[in-house]
Structure 1
Amino acid sequence: MRRGGQLSTLTIQRLEIFRAIYESGSLTQAASELKLAQPTVSKHISNFQRTLGFDLFVNEKGRLRPTVEANALYQECKGMFDQLEHIDQSVQSLRRGSEQVLRVMIVVPGAQLRLFSDAIRAVRDRWPDINLIVSVGGRDTQIWKLRRGEIDLGIGTPKLPHPDIESEVLTTLRMVAVMPATHELATQKKVSVSDFGKYPSILPSDSTLYGKLILRTLEHVGVVPDTRISAEAPSQLPLLVDSLECLSILDMITAFHPPKDAAIKVSPLDVSMDYNVCVNRIQGRVLTPQAEFLIEKLREGLSQEKQRMERQL
């Protein structure tokens, strides 16, 4: 890069060295990660600081602590670092040539896992040589992995709140009430959300988008549930509901596929509460035929399962 006839002070190599030192706090570790000699790394960062006209690090008991200026520079460059990671992943994919790889992350395994497995099987039947890499992760992990180019698809969350990520709705699931089969509300055709202010309940954690949806809806109608007990994973709730004799709210798939030991009753709610199951990918990314086929099979499976469950309510 040239500016005013002189080489720019901001080269990719200098920024990569700066990042490695910033994230590790050590010249030795940064050199190891970059596969460079430590004197080379030390020389580059010294020249970079001299050119910038300010220090990026101070030595404190053997550790390199970032200065205020270093913190600001790192935040400004973070998006670029993510893009470089993504480009590197793309180059590796091009080097692999005809090798077919599909990397997918799903939310914490639960009732949707069977449908996901069916879709995976359909992909393998059509492309027997495909290399499928499946991992587990929630909203924040999916955002991080997608932006770094480490996964192709994130599945099972609601729409991810990030400008770089495109979310496509696979299906919209009705939220339902769940209770022990012996609960006094189990004989009612519908459960009023006001009952969640009267009876003990255990709900998904408000640290999840799933839990936020439920608590926001209850708050909108003036219901204050007892939230002293909550669960990070909705799949944990059926057994807890049964053993603790509480009410809960779940999506239809999770509610109608409880663990075998959970004796629960599923009933409609008296208010509309829906949960979008999405597939997430980097904005504008062209998907492979294998990824498109997987999404199609997931949508088909979810649609069929949704119709079957609606008939049970």
Structure 2
Amino acid sequence: MRKSLMRMTLRQLQVFRAVCESRSYSRAAEEMALTQPAVSLQIRQLEELVDQPLFEYIGKKLYLTDAAEVLLKASADIFGRLESLDMQLSDLQGSLQGQLNLAVESSAKYFVPHLFAAFKRQHPEVNLHLVVVNRAQVIKRLSDNRDDLVIMSLVPQDMALEFLPFLNNPIVAVAPPEHPLCHAARLTLKDLEPYPLLIREPGSGTRKACEEYLQQKRAHFAQTLEVASLDAQRECVSAGLGLALLPRHAVNLELAGGLLRELPVEELPLYRSWCVVHARGKRLSPVAQAFLAFIRSERAQISALAARFGGTANAPR
């Protein structure tokens, strides 16, 4: 090992990570409660130790060099090991402490906080750092080892992943209560085709699942309107801009309050399983291990939570 690397400090790595995340020396300085010259000095010293530049400006934008990308991954491992050590020491004292870094697909954001709250009742000293992204971003975060665990559906088959299905995610057709289809006692997907369909942005897991299912069922919608978030999609349906295929968990309150109606479509719900996922061979922190164990052992409690959201109470087998 280069002797210069042994002189690297954790403080330098903290400042470096802050610059990487904010892509700005000034914002990193504000976050770290330092002056901008102090941040610049820490980065210069770090560049001397690795003997390569870490950042470069193109126009007014700050970019990471290849050396910075490598150092960022190494720093994530270092701080991850320290956090794991802290958790293990807490465990030896008889209590589980630490933070669960969890990334979830956007359509799971309504259910997951309640799932974590149930876990936290067993481990009150554990905290949550939750990131909500679409499926494409979840896959990128898995590839970059950014999180302890992720929760997603449609787990990619071309990656070395471990996953545990734990809850069915029913996707249903919804419409505003004044829509003419709401008067029907029975519908098929073909009956929905004359109306505009609101769809999510490319990269959305719900969009991918629905597109594959509609293709399988030979249902074709000539009129589609792309909406960049599930919340906006739901509001557009409420405004009468079209129909949508949405996770029932995400529209439970609107269905219960009569703001939206679930259409009685024969081919629906479309069921996909929520899975908790991590890279194969990943060293899980004690908190991540405990969360996985909770999901494995508390199926009845998870099913009861799902029932509150209007979803199926049956966990995948």
Cα 1:79–1:263 change in 2 (3 A) is closer
The two structures, once aligned, show a CA RMSD in angstroms of 4.9
Q: Which residue of 2 aligns with 1:4?
A: none
Deviation of 1:232 after TM superposition, in Å, equals 0.8
Q: Is the 8 A contact 1:179 1:266 kept in 2?
A: yes
Partner residue, 1:258:
254
Question: 1:41–1:274: structure 2 CA closer, same or farther, 3 Å change rule?
Answer: closer
User: Residue 65 of structure 2: SS of its match in structure 1?
Assistant: helix
Correspondence 1:130 to 2:134? no
**Counterpart residue number, 1:232:** 229
Q: Could you list the per-position Cα deviations for residues 160-202 of structure 1 after superposition, in whole angstroms to 9, with x for gaps in the alignment?
A: 559575332112334222223343333041321x445421222
Q: How does 1:244-283 map to 2 (within 5 A)?
A: 244=240, 246-258=242-254, 260=257, 262-270=259-267, 273-281=270-278, 283=280
Task: Tell me which residue corresponds to 1:242.
Answer: 238
Structure 2 distance, partners of 1:88, 1:73, is 23
Residue 177 of structure 1, aligned match among 152, 158, 173: 173
Checking the alignment, whether the CA contact within 8 Å between 1:238 and 1:262 is kept in structure 2 is no
Counterpart Cα distance in 2 of 1:118 and 1:43: 44
1:293 aligned onto 2:294: yes
Q: Tell me, what secondary structure is at the counterpart of 1:202?
A: strand
Q: What amino acid is the match of 1:94?
A: Q
Tell me the alpha carbon deviations over residues 232-260 of structure 1, each in whole angstroms, 9 at most, x when there is no partner. Answer: 12x55445323215221123333554262
What is the TM-score of this pair, normalised by structure 2? Answer: 0.64
Q: Contact conserved, 1:14 with 1:48, CA < 8 A, in 2?
A: no
1:80 corresponds, among 68, 74, 80, to 74
* Residue 204 (structure 2) aligns with: 208
Q: 2:194·2:221 contact (CA, 8 Å) conserved in 1? A: no
Distance 1:294 1:282, change over 3 A: same
Q: Distance in 1 between matches of 2:56 and 2:248?
A: 56
Aligned equivalents of 1:180, 1:280: Cα separation in 2:
35
Whether the aligned pair in 1 keeps the contact of 2:174 and 2:237 (CA below 8 Å) is yes
Q: Quote the residue 2:47 is aligned against.
A: 45
Structure 2 CA distance, aligned partners of 1:223 and 1:80?
48
Specify the SS of the correspondent of 1:244.
coil
Percent of matched pairs sharing the same residue? 12
SS in 1 for 2:242: coil
Bigger radius of gyration: 1
Indicate the SS of the match to 1:206: coil
- Maintained 8 Å contact 1:179/1:241: yes
Q: Aligned pairs, how many?
A: 287
Give the direction of change, closer, same or farther, for the CA distance of 1:256–1:93 in structure 2 (3 Å limit): closer
Q: Deviation per CA, 1:90-139, whole angstroms, max 9, x where unpaired?
A: 233235453423536455588943x8537734751x45x43343635224
The two structures have a TM-score, normalised by structure 1, of 0.64
Distance in 2 (alpha carbons) for counterparts of 1:265 and 1:58: 52
Deviates more, 1:164-173 or 1:209-218: 164-173
Secondary structure of the residue aligned to 2:220 is coil
CA deviation vs aligned residue, 1:192-236 (integer Å, no higher than 9, x gap): 1x4454212223333421122223433453624433342512x55
Counterpart AA for 1:84 = I
* Alignment CA distance shift 1:142-1:188 (3 Å): same
The AA in structure 1 aligned to 2:274 is V
Distance in 2 separating the partners of 1:138 and 1:73: 27
Q: Is the 8 A contact 2:196 2:221 kept in 1?
A: no
- In the alignment, the residues of structure 2 paired with residue 249 and residue 201 of structure 1 have an alpha-carbon distance, to the nearest angstrom, of 8
1:191 aligns with 2:188: yes
1:170–1:59: structure 2 CA closer, same or farther, 3 Å change rule? closer
CA distance in 2, matches of 1:144, 1:206: 17
Aligned residue among 60, 64, 85 for 1:91: 85
Separation of aligned partners in 2, 1:111 and 1:47: 42
| Long gaps (5+) in structure 1 | 2-6
Cα 1:266–1:73 change in 2 (3 A) is same
Q: Partners of 2:225 and 2:57 in 1: how far apart?
A: 46
The answer (yes or no) to whether the contact 1:173–1:306 under 8 Å persists in 2 is yes
